[in-house]
């Protein structure tokens, strides 16, 4: 009989981290994205545990019941991957498989790149690994004419926070509405906001939420973010250029561990030109990739939208590659 889900607080890497866990066996850590919580993995924890693994989903740095440092500079990839390395040790283990969705995917890819001695395999959802570019990302966006790209909109402290925190229920109803993805297609221009408009102008709330998320789920996200605010997660974006500076030693580095990529075919991240190119070239950065699973009709929130297919792909990969 598989153990029930439990929660606990740990001190890791100088912060207090809240984890949700289930099962026993080889360690599997699941990193959520923006703006989410460990709760985003609610469908995966039981499936991974039932397959004979110790599944652990933290509230990531800046989210939920995990610490949210005040200093913007404490949200770099070094800090966040350091949290996951420290979590492995804090759980009494030396190695783990790391899985990430959305912003959690770059965290997972970089955990594997930075510490192959700790992370024996990696799964990325939604965001494929991308090579380090020739210049700072925000400057490159501006040169492309994307002055109102949402990454740039998120840079000024307080602006996006005010938009998202005005009505967290409406925020999550808009973010989780699948047709919002239709507005985000293209080369990146679909995410270039109009003057005077915010991020949420890209989507309209659904009259009726899709069947993969309930009003209770929306309330759970909204109540948590009403308490914590959105600043912690937005600070990840405020380190995009700093991350480029810090990762200079890993220019042209590859990820050698067994890897898996999963995304929905309607996910805007892989439908634009940049995402399509990254997906097509994934073997160059991850030469030991074991599969690219594209789930027909699924959008960005793939592990919540289509849990059965995501779980099947993850469990098959873990059984073949986890040790």
300 is catalytic: yes
Joined together, the tokens standing for residue 152 give 């740039």
> What is the C-alpha to C-alpha distance for residues 318 and 223, in angstroms, rounded to an integer?
34
59 is catalytic: no
Q: Which of 74, 60, 62 is nearest to 30 (CA)?
A: 60
> What is the C-alpha to C-alpha distance for residues 194 and 297, in angstroms, rounded to an integer?
28
One DSSP character per residue, 20-49 reads: EEE--SSEEEEE--TT--GGGGTTHHHHHH
The strand pairing partners of 292, in sequence order, are: 261
Contact between 121 and 258 under an 8 Å Cβ cutoff? The reply is: yes
Question: Pick the catalytic residue: 54, 79, 266, 300?
Answer: 300
Question: Pick the catalytic residue: 102, 110, 266, 267?
Answer: 102
Burial class (CB in 10 A: 0-12, 13-18, 19+), 8: exposed
Burial class (CB in 10 A: 0-12, 13-18, 19+), 145: exposed
Alpha helices in the chain (DSSP H): 44-50, 77-90, 104-114, 137-143, 150-153, 159-165, 168-175, 215-228, 231-237, 240-246, 268-271, 273-280, 282-285, 302-305, 307-321
> What is the C-alpha to C-alpha distance for residues 302 and 38, in angstroms, rounded to an integer?
15
User: Which residues are part of the catalytic machinery?
Assistant: 102, 300
């Amino acid at each position: 009989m598989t153990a029930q889900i439990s929660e606990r607080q740990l001190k890791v890497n100088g912060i207090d981290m809240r984890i949700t866990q289930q099962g026993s066996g080889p360690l599997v850590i699941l990193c959520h994205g923006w703006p989410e919580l460990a709760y985003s993995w609610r469908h995966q924890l039981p499936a991974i545990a039932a397959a004979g693994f110790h599944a652990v989903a933290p509230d990531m740095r800046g989210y939920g019941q995990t610490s949210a440092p005040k200093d913007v500079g404490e949200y770099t990839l070094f800090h966040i991957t350091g949290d996951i390395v420290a979590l492995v040790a804090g759980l009494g283990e030396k190695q783990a498989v790391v899985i990430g969705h959305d912003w959690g995917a770059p965290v997972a890819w970089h955990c594997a790149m930075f510490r192959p001695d700790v992370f024996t395999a990696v799964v990325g959802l939604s965001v494929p690994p991308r090579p380090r570019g020739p210049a700072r990302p925000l400057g490159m966006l501006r040169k492309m004419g994307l002055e109102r790209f949402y990454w740039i909109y998120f840079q000024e402290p307080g602006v996006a926070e005010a938009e998202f925190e005005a009505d967290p229920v409406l925020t999550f109803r808009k973010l989780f509405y699948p047709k919002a993805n239709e507005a985000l297609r293209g080369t990146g221009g679909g995410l270039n906001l109009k003057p005077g408009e915010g991020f949420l102008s890209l989507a309209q709330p659904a009259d009726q939420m899709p069947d993969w998320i309930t009003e209770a789920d929306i309330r759970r996200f909204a109540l948590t973010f009403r308490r914590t605010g959105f600043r912690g997660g937005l600070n990840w974006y405020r380190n995009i250029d700093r991350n480029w500076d810090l990762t200079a030693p890993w220019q042209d580095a590859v990820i050698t561990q067994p890897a898996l990529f999963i995304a929905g075919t309607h996910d805007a991240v892989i439908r634009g030109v940049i995402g399509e190119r990254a997906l097509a070239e994934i073997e160059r950065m991850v030469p030991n990739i074991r599969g690219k699973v594209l789930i027909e009709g699924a959008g960005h929130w793939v592990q919540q939208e289509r849990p059965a297919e995501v779980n099947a792909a993850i469990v098959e990969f873990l059984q073949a590659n986890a040790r």
